Chain A
Amino acid sequence: MAKKIHEIRDPIHVFVRLSHDERNVLDSRPFQRLRHIHQLALTYLVYPGATHRRFEHSLGVMELAGRVYDVVTSNATDDVRNEFPDVADDRKREYWRCVLRMAALCHDIGHLPFSHAAEKELLPEGWTHETLTAVLIRSDEMLPIWHDMRIDSEDVVKLALGRKELPDADFTPWETILAEIIVGDAFGVDRMDYLLRDSHHAGVAYGKFDQYRLIDTLRILPRAPSDADDEGEVGFALGVEEGGLQSAEALMLARYFMYSQVYFHPIRRIYDLHLKDFLIEWLGDDGYPTDTERHLMITDTEVTHGMREAEQHAEFPGHLHAYRINRREHFKQIYSRNPSDAEINLEAGEAIFDALCTEFGAEHFRHDRYRQKGGAPDFPVRMRDDRIASSLLVSDILAKVPVVDIDCVFADQSIVTKAERWLTQHRDEAIKPKKEEGASG
């Protein structure tokens, strides 16, 4: 007789458990491919322990999604049960639990090799890894599995991608809440798992927070009013009990620290840029295939092999970039925008980059710019006296968590000294902003 429950050991969640049906999704080719996709691309060249894959991250996201679901449905108030009747219906509650876990498990199956690197440049207009995820969930290979589990593939797609990635889809309020459990700005379990897991494997403590306390205090709560006109507003969101506020603050701080210390470590970033340059040349004019069969055949293994070959043969596409990565001849950071430069020019990095390219040639430099996305950490908090308040009003910390903003320039090692010397002399002039043409004064 087949085992009913399968247990998988996990360094973050100790055990991840799956039913026999869920195991069929795990064993599918689209999911097994994630065994060969590094969670943090080439970060292992900086943090050697960070060799973990999207496979175990996705298992972790599924585990956390199930836990959050159980907490928020078992603690639902009458208001929530009235608003979302599926919570009170045993059969439907179980259905959505299954859909949510499967959406969590599959949310990353469309990732390109080495995760995010070069997605925008390599995929055709209008495609993202989320689009590929949706295509794979709806694929002929996956449809029989969903059919056997008696779940609708479109429900899995909606919860896996969320409203942001499916602007034309109709979401019910309940589906919106469920998608928030996976990809939400505040309490998305995707982020919870990657902060804990990346932190563990990179060997840093920045990403840790009290996941047990936080999850235990998560609730579906009425949204806090936005102004006097908004009193008594219906509408719900994921929020926390007052007792979980500090663990929510710790999650937001963990995110900030992981971004500033690990994800945007300058050497990690330049390896990403070299990898992007390599992939563009290696894949050629056709770019990355959106055909599912070809997608399933390309993983980090094939790209790593391609890089090894290209590194050794000057005539191979991507040779120079592969050489830079494999021989550790990466570019070096020569400029990072500081607050005083930002006072003069918010795009100082771009101005410096343009000036350096003009002076020495564009092939010697790379510009890296990133602005944090997502909303402010504003979620409802149920106070001990049962009032609902905005998190930003009751937390002294949340409104002050810095926003990650990266603007820096890297230079070829062969030219670093000359470029730095030039920059010392011309920096102020290079970052001086220009008024737009036609303006008075």
Chain B
Amino acid sequence: MDRLKKAAVLTRFVSALRERGSWGGETHIQKAAYFLQELLGVPLGFRFVLYWYGPFSFDLRDELTGLRGDELLTLNPQYPYGSSYKSTERASYVQSLFEKTLDEYRERIEFVADQLGAQGVKSLERLATGYYVTKGLPKAAVEDRALRLTKIKPHVSHEDAVAAIQMVDKMITKSKPLLH
């Protein structure tokens, strides 16, 4: 996906998350974008690695800074929890140039925003790490994947890990009709 198309998709995605109540900080965007790319197959071209809060992409971090430089996103200090990203008027203009691309990915963007927009950072960490584990162990039982999740993130309780894996499984099932 070329740069401007990617800018149109990402800025639309940030808006969709915020419309669902997301705080819109970098961690929220990182985890949600992980699902958008890896589960929903939107070809953003980011490489994700396991980091403090689960899957994280340094490329996406660079891209968010680039989008600030382009004035497509603004970074707004927001009491009491640091900062959040908002898309700008200029972003709406760029989106208008890529209607076809946005049409193609609209349902997938809305799906991820619906599922994850209202989730907080800790929940997103469990879900994204849960999906990371599921990708590595696609045939493993919920219990086994939950154990793997708690091994990677020892501060996550077993109950929370199981709940996260179950939600990931539901998301996988629900997302299938969108992958055409």
Name A's B-contacting residues (CB within 8 A): 163-164, 167-168, 173, 176, 223-230, 233-235, 342-343, 346-347, 371-376, 378, 390, 392-393, 399, 402-405, 433-441
Contact string against A for B residues 1-15, beta-carbon threshold 8 Å, 1 for contact and 0 otherwise: 001110100000000
CA distance A390 to B81 in the complex (A): 7
* Given known A-B contacts A372-B66, A376-B65, A224 and B100 have beta carbons under 8 A apart: no
Is there contact, CB below 8 Å, between A223 and B52?
Answer: yes
Q: Which of A176, A343, A374, A376 has the most CB of B within 10 A?
A: A376
For residue B7, which residues in chain A have a CB less than 8 angstroms away from its CB?
346
The residue from B4, B66, B82 contacting A393, defined by CB atoms under 8 A apart? B82
4 extra interchain contacts, Cβ-Cβ under 8 A, other than A173-B52, A434-B97? A228-B81, A230-B121, A342-B90, A375-B64
* Given known A-B contacts A235-B52, A372-B65, A436 and B99 have beta carbons under 8 A apart: yes
Contact string against A for B residues 47-89, beta-carbon threshold 8 Å, 1 for contact and 0 otherwise: 1010111000010011011101111100111111111000000
For residue B66, which residues in chain A have a CB less than 8 angstroms away from its CB?
371-373, 403, 405
Is there contact, CB below 8 Å, between B58 and A164?
Answer: yes
Q: Which residue of B lies closest to A237 (CB)?
A: B52
Q: Tell me which residues from 4 to 59 in chain B have a Cβ below 8 Å from any Cβ of chain A.
A: 4-5, 7, 23, 25-28, 47, 49, 51-53, 58
Is there contact, CB below 8 Å, between A393 and B65?
Answer: no
Is there contact, CB below 8 Å, between B81 and A225?
Answer: yes
A-B contacts, 19 of them at CB < 8 A, read A163-B51, A173-B52, A176-B52, A223-B52, A226-B121, A228-B81, A343-B90, A373-B66, A374-B62, A376-B26, A376-B83, A378-B82, A390-B81, A399-B75, A405-B69, A436-B100, A439-B98, A439-B99, A441-B99
Q: Which residue of B lies closest to A380 (CB)?
A: B82
Name B's A-contacting residues (CB within 8 A): 3-5, 7, 23, 25-28, 47, 49, 51-53, 58, 61-62, 64-66, 68-72, 75-83, 90, 93-94, 97-101, 119-123, 155
Is there contact, CB below 8 Å, between A392 and B47?
Answer: no
* Given known A-B contacts A375-B65, A403-B65, A404-B69, A439 and B47 have beta carbons under 8 A apart: no
Is there contact, CB below 8 Å, between A230 and B81?
Answer: yes
Is there contact, CB below 8 Å, between A226 and B25?
Answer: yes
CA distance A401 to B102 in the complex (A): 31
CA distance A371 to B81 in the complex (A): 27
Is there contact, CB below 8 Å, between B120 and A228?
Answer: yes
For residue B98, which residues in chain A have a CB less than 8 angstroms away from its CB?
435-436, 439
For residue A176, which residues in chain B have a CB less than 8 angstroms away from its CB?
52
Is there contact, CB below 8 Å, between A371 and B65?
Answer: yes
Q: Which residue of B lies closest to A390 (CB)?
A: B82
CA distance A437 to B100 in the complex (A): 8
Is there contact, CB below 8 Å, between A226 and B23?
Answer: yes
* Given known A-B contacts A228-B120, A403-B68, A439-B100, A167 and B47 have beta carbons under 8 A apart: yes
CA distance A392 to B81 in the complex (A): 9
Is there contact, CB below 8 Å, between B27 and A226?
Answer: yes
The residue from B26, B77, B97 contacting A433, defined by CB atoms under 8 A apart? B97
The residue from A375, A433, A434 contacting B61, defined by CB atoms under 8 A apart? A375
CA distance A300 to B14 in the complex (A): 45
CA distance A378 to B25 in the complex (A): 11
Q: How far is the CB of A47 from chain B (nearest CB, A)?
A: 25
CA distance A436 to B75 in the complex (A): 29
For residue B69, which residues in chain A have a CB less than 8 angstroms away from its CB?
371-372, 402-405
Q: How far is the CB of B176 from chain A (nearest CB, A)?
A: 26
Q: How far is the CB of B150 from chain A (nearest CB, A)?
A: 15
Is there contact, CB below 8 Å, between B81 and A227?
Answer: yes
Q: Which residue of B lies closest to A344 (CB)?
A: B93
For residue A164, which residues in chain B have a CB less than 8 angstroms away from its CB?
58
The residue from A223, A226, A373, A436 contacting B62, defined by CB atoms under 8 A apart? A373
